[in-house]
Structure 1
């Protein structure tokens, strides 16, 4: 592919840019005009919806498309470069067709330039699907949809040794060491406490302190258990819920943190932050059993429920590290502050309610 150029603000992309793209990917159409509008709440990438007017519209020409592009914020750009976010998301769509397209929007075009950290991801528009809201939480029915998709994701590459052949995939055997050192991760927690201290309850601080104190040993200990392809930011803001009867009940987006990891980590991350503090204890066990049954439906039969629950408890701290780490590494916004604080509080409560602190080394 000749890689249509992307050297301008995505809100200013022209009909000619899309005409070149459509010619490259085999869509018979001539765009005569378009409108572009920023959508979503992403803080690492910018999402834009394109609505097209056509001089010629052949079969398969889309009325709208959604594009994802680099952030316009310098802090977020630096974080994305340091952590390999843009390269990883593009490679996810190129590498894992058993997942991409089945529980994600279909990707029409992907591009990444390592020299400039430029990337473009052009996808089907999932409208009228609605984005989940991390702050308000979700219903049990929506949580079950997330468990359905998690089971599909994890079962597709359950204990799949080929995951270790991808150096861009977090946690693979050939991936470089994490860009964030253990010392830096602990320092982010210290910085988070300094910034948000008056808004943090002491019981939540105590969970964070215990977790960060245990992190060095947790990194040294290789727990037995399964591994799979994981999303690692599996939460409501990264989910588009389809209307009744839609071909995709749920589309999962933002695969910038995809990795080889513990499947239960995605489940603990979603349940811990996706349900409100009041709702999670009421439905937690039922949702875990629902996910376990869906794994079995997808062909995973060598993982009993007790092992899943142990892995769930051990990995529920991961959501805290995402909350305080991301808060300090991406551009600060009012909604972002609310979201990260809400996530941290919910995950701290999840750890306490499930006696997870007793599992820390």
Structure 2
């Protein structure tokens, strides 16, 4: 833990504390809350100070709901550990982290990150253009490629890989979660999508353990709401929210992004080119012995990630009006991808 330690709320982000964390004198600070703050709380800081003090930063802290922090502690540990142990070893664009710390039990944490304004968050409901999708998948390869099948990742105690017990638990909870999802959106959810979700529930255990020979870092929630895009027509998207980082098949991230972030017709029209762009970027990081056809087949296999994360995120998350519309859109798009690509035939 760095000398400045952990803070529990924005009122503790004093000039004195920030000066110690940044290693430069801070004379004044003002903050405003940004984002919805369901898993963590984010604040934009405006700083005055000496040389080396950024004019603005984003501070990310534990959730304001202290009762939720114990449940969220593994996510906090993953994000702090990503910036501490992993970010410098991969090429994916992330905000620069100026300071990180967590309590011993990981129920409190603090990150001081670059403020990326005027870059703006993507919109999961609206979807994205093929050009922005190409930017995003090329950036994603920067997470996967540099440590592709790297056995030393298995030595990181905070980085989880799915085992048989996890697969059994997932198989046990996903079917009831699908029932809850279908009941909640009865009348809004297409009958074909309900059937697809139920078919996925029957094979989700074997699927999550499948194709284990290829593994790497998996963001776990690589979607438009967690991507910050520069003003158009610029490129250079930045990925945020590293609380779901795990070990797994990298194509799950690729399939999740394309399957939930583009409408079915547009995805189908551009997915081969987008997967090829991702594959080319992997090769630029030294990934060999992995052909484009294999990559596209893994992408097909990975499309079950979309319905899986959509259903679990909805059923176990805090309901909001936008969230409901978003989850419905993600379910429709990702179920269409599963059917179009005949992904269930690969399990």
Alpha-carbon deviation of 1:132?
Answer: 0.7
> In the alignment, what sits opposite 2:227?
239
2:211 is paired with a residue whose SS is coil
Alpha-carbon deviation of 1:265?
Answer: 0.8
Counting only pairs closer than 5 Å after superposition, residues 1-361 of structure 1 correspond to structure 2 as 1-7=2-8, 9-10=9-10, 13-22=13-22, 26=23, 28-32=24-28, 34-41=29-36, 43-54=38-49, 57-58=50-51, 60-73=52-65, 77=69, 79-81=71-73, 84-99=74-89, 103-115=93-105, 117-171=107-161, 177=166, 181-219=170-208, 222-223=210-211, 225-243=213-231, 249-360=236-347
Q: What is the distance in 2 between the residues matched to 1:275 and 1:181?
A: 27
Question: What root-mean-square deviation, in Å, do the aligned CA atoms of Structure 1 and Structure 2 show?
Answer: 2.5
Q: Is the 8 A contact 1:165 1:172 kept in 2?
A: no
Q: What is the distance in 2 between the residues matched to 1:217 and 1:5?
A: 41
Q: What is the distance in 2 between the residues matched to 1:238 and 1:157?
A: 22
Deviating more after overlay: 133-142 vs 329-338: 329-338
User: Which stretches in structure 1 are left out of the alignment for 5+ residues?
Assistant: none
Q: What is the distance in 1 between the residues matched to 2:257 and 2:251?
A: 10
Alpha-carbon deviation of 1:75?
Answer: 7.7
1:198 is paired with a residue whose SS is coil
TM-score by length of 2: 0.91
Alpha-carbon deviation of 1:222?
Answer: 3.9
User: Which stretches in structure 2 are left out of the alignment for 5+ residues?
Assistant: none
TM-score by length of 1: 0.88
Q: What is the distance in 2 between the residues matched to 1:128 and 1:310?
A: 37
Query: CA separation of 1:250/1:11 partners in 2, compared to 1, >3 Å: closer, same or farther?
Result: farther
Alpha-carbon deviation of 1:268?
Answer: 0.4
Question: How big is each residue's C-alpha offset from its partner over 1:109-154, in whole Å with a ceiling of 9 and x where there is no partner?
Answer: 1111243611111111111111111010111111111111111111
Q: Is the 8 A contact 2:226 2:241 kept in 1?
A: yes
Q: Is the 8 A contact 2:6 2:109 kept in 1?
A: no
Q: What is the distance in 1 between the residues matched to 2:89 and 2:131?
A: 22
Q: Is the 8 A contact 1:134 1:237 kept in 2?
A: yes
Q: What is the distance in 2 between the residues matched to 1:2 and 1:65?
A: 19
1:257 is paired with a residue whose SS is coil
Q: What is the distance in 1 between the residues matched to 2:27 and 2:90?
A: 27
